Amino acid sequence: MNEVRVRFAPSPTGYLHIGSARTAYFNWLFARKEKGRLILRIEDTDISRHQEDMIATILDSLKWLSVRWDEGPDIGGDYGPYRQSERNEYYRKYADFLLGSKKAYRCFCTPEELEQRRQDYAKKGEFFSYDRKCLELDDRQIKDRLKQKMPFSIRMLVPDGKEISFKDTVYGKIKVNSSNIDDFIILRSNNLPTYNFSAVIDDYLMKITHIIRGEDHLSNTPKQLLIYDSLNISPPSFTHLPMILSKDGEKLSKRHGAISVESYRDEGFLQEAVKNYLALLGWAFDEKTTIFSEKEIIKKFSLETINKKASRFDYEKLLHINSMYIKNHEISDLAGMLKDRLKKRITEMDKSDLKNNCLKEADLKNPEAVGAIFREIEDKILYIIPLVNKRAKTLNEIEKMILPFFFKIIYPDEIKNFFAGKNINAASLLKQAKSTLSKITDNDFCLPLIEKELRDLAEANNITFGELAEVLRLALWGRTVSLPLFETITILGRKKSLHRLSEYLELIS
């Protein structure tokens, strides 16, 4: 059996979205399962929508997902170049072959002429398909037009009444009659190929054995099979992946969470969680399992088990899966990721960001101030992660949770006046807590001793520890909800804890 070769061929017209990411991942899974090769090809011949900078963005998104290719524009290979814009000589060669064998013909009709004919048909309530006007031109008429350098496209001569059939791995046997296909353009007047033509030529020359792509390409397959047949080429195997709809069955859009892969990364999703969820969109590990390792996916993955029913994208389910991955992730790995993310976030922070997080403005333009924050992150992050990894759904949530460890906090108005009218002497408790903690030396400032002293303080005041904790939490964290209190005090340290107690005491006295 020939080596399995699959390809992912994005167009650089925008970011890598969830549907394209799933296509890339399924191709990668199949290549790894069959010990084959994944080829990355950039389909960049749509010059009206082309965005050059999107190529690097798409490649970065795939690398973040750890979807690695074996041949591509950045690493080369035996069947390059891997950008269609650099392969025009191949398209021209095969278009000329089809012209010479009378399986294609030149079309000198201008876009304006075609549009007028289309409108004329519409007025009669009829659908316009190309009427083969240029097929009727004789050799002399063609030579005259070429001599005048009239622009032309090349159209495929679609045979009449031909049954086109193929077996799709997901959708089974599909039949289409060629009478439903007009003579489609394979080479535009600007000498650039159309999608169907370039895809066939490249898939053939790159020895692609299996095409795995979205269901939206199902209607392109009959046209491509006509090209394969005209070139006397055996087509590859076809697998079309089901559509991805929103949770309520609508077309997927941004409001349903259908954002770019890059956005999921920036939101704080783990690539393992995103891939786990991608695998569930149209394929199932078994009837009940939703969390599984990549090794398990590769072992069980099969094109034959892909469901032809449209998938439903559920953002909340993705969040849940991500939270499970965060919860069970190695603490040291999470710490490494969060160190980098926190440093980036702090470097890019502005006044509004600080205000939204109830943090006081620091001199972030001062290298020494930034350096001090970064050193504190390095020192404390490993101790902080166990406090938050079971509480957060994304790394972004973790960042927001732990920023108060490194910045001075702002006490919102509702926190300043929280104890007004309440039957608790917050000021007295703060003074006593401050006195209690100040008696613990820096060397002895550890969780067991802090817990003992503060519990004794609550008992001495004949109140529950919950009542004392509420006062301390507001003073130390500036919020009604905080991370575990004793751990928070320990990580903040003696100096910063005492300073915050003093600040809040001054505020409410």
Give yes or no for a contact between 501 and 476, defined as CB atoms under 8 angstroms apart: yes
> In this structure, what are the phi and psi dihedrals at residue 429, rounded to the nearest 5 degrees?
-65, -40
> What string of DSSP letters covers 69-104?
-SBBTTTB-TT---BGGG-HHHHHHHHHHHHHTTSE
In the numeric block, the tokens 């067991």 are attached to 448
Peptide bond into 151 cis (omega under 30): no
Contacts of 54 (CB under 8 A, 6+ apart): 12, 13, 14, 15
Give yes or no for a contact between 49 and 295, defined as CB atoms under 8 angstroms apart: no
Helices 465-477 and 426-438, interaxial angle, to 10°? 80
Cα separation, 10 vs 17, whole angstroms: 11
* Nearest partner of 424 among 467, 479, 482, judged by Cα: 467
Contacts of 57 (CB under 8 A, 6+ apart): 15, 16, 262
Q: Tally Cβ neighbours within 10 Å of residue 260.
A: 19
Q: Tally Cβ neighbours within 10 Å of residue 296.
A: 14
Cα separation, 315 vs 267, whole angstroms: 13
Tokens matching residue 425: 């002497």
Give yes or no for a contact between 135 and 183, defined as CB atoms under 8 angstroms apart: yes
* Nearest partner of 385 among 250, 483, 286, judged by Cα: 483
Tokens matching residue 147: 């001599």
Distance of CA 319 to the CA centre of its chain: 14
**Catalytic positions, please?**
254
Strand partners, 273: none
Q: Which amino acid is at 454?
A: L
Rounded to whole angstroms, what are the CA distances from 379 to 330, 366, 374, 375?
18, 20, 9, 6
In the numeric block, the tokens 């001054």 are attached to 506
Cα separation, 49 vs 51, whole angstroms: 7
Long-range CB contacts for residues 504-507, cutoff 8 Å, separation at least 24: 504/411, 504/430, 504/474, 504/475, 504/476, 505/427, 505/430, 505/431, 505/434, 505/475, 507/411, 507/416
